[in-house]
A and B are shown apart, each in its own frame.
Chain A
């Protein structure tokens, strides 16, 4: 599978409160409350690093999780947010051609 590069939509509103992010899609008013692991991925999703890199260094570095399970959860989470339009998933880093 090609690497996925997650990038927050620039118009998605978000704030991290006590380690947990809240995210609002201004287009359809959908409000998301992310758990701590998901919040780590959300914060790191600036389009420069792949989901695999984020999971390996940020998630597995901070939480006691099994890498393969963490990765499949991360993909499901990223795809769900992408379906809601607050995250884009590309197969190349942001800014590259």
Chain B
């Protein structure tokens, strides 16, 4: 996989693209970062044209997401077109609308994976997050049916204050349903700039527990102690795949470097996909950034091992060159070593005594 990524990077190919087909949704998850009003979604004809352009540009990994994708009546036609262009297809859904016949066409069209969000194994907790009574039961029934039809499934669990203790229960549910399990402990600011939902983030104590759970991180000692010296190679690194080998398309055709990095680089209704990918000023700016260009991170001892997300940094208001508070917290909780971002913000005083300060 690494070799394929390196080849895509050297050829300038957007190997993976995440397309949100709609921002409309039939759930109202309390941590959601989207506006659900969705004027002017790309039509089926526009999406087919876009998929053709993406296939010609070399896109291989295609994620179709939302909003809730099954609210689009033409979803099957979209997926069928994607299949005809030989993409590796992944669907993200809450699954509550999936019927048996849907599971069958999903299998027959060779969808590689269906990812379903489950927040708890307890209906009262899950349904309180989605704000839809009965949603856990419906999602689980769909997961079971997909599996029975031979579709690969993944359960994705976002960790937040309301479900912080429940992920082991969701892991057990995933095992029972024959699904893979993935967990994300990060809440993303709302696309409209509202950061109030960040209060749903679990605290450092819970994050510390998660980082010590070998079922999630593998070798705990290795995970906690991993440290990469910040040398010239680290300073020359690119922050992540966004804008280098991957990008995002919104329901109305805006292109961002990543779903979590809402810098509008162009719109596919106005320009060709490949032109935006190759030549948009914003994409070129994102693509040019190296660790050494980052305002705070370039002087941080964690720079080589941090999971810093430039999109989160941007949405938190720190600009795409700044540190991400959420990732500073993760680096700190993981290693116990204070970060340059925390020093800059003066948040160190509130923390427990730190030993082994690396700089």
Footprint of B on A, CB under 8 Å? 10-15, 17-18, 20, 22, 24, 26-27, 29, 31, 33
Contact = CB atoms under 8 A, between A and B. Distances in A.
Interface of B: 1, 3-4, 7-8, 11, 13, 15, 55, 58-60, 83, 86-89, 109-113, 150, 152
A27 B3 CA distance: 22
A13 B83 CA distance: 8
Contacts, number: 51
A26 B111 contact: yes
Interface SS of chain A: strand
Nearest to A11: B110
A17 B58 contact: yes
Given A15-B58, A15-B59, A17-B13, A10 B7 contact: no
Among B1, B15, B58, B60, the most chain A Cβ lie within 10 Å of the Cβ of B60
A13 B112 contact: yes
User: 7 smallest A-B Cβ distances: which pairs?
Assistant: A11-B110, A13-B88, A26-B112, A15-B60, A24-B88, A26-B110, A14-B86
A17 B86 contact: no
A3 B200 CA distance: 64
Contacts of A18: 7, 11
Among A15, A18, A22, the most chain B Cβ lie within 10 Å of the Cβ of A15
Nearest to A15: B60
B13 A11 contact: no
A1 B3 CA distance: 37
Nearest to A22: B4
Contacts of B1: 31
A33 B3 contact: yes
Given A29-B152, A31-B1, A13 B60 contact: yes
A12 B111 CA distance: 10
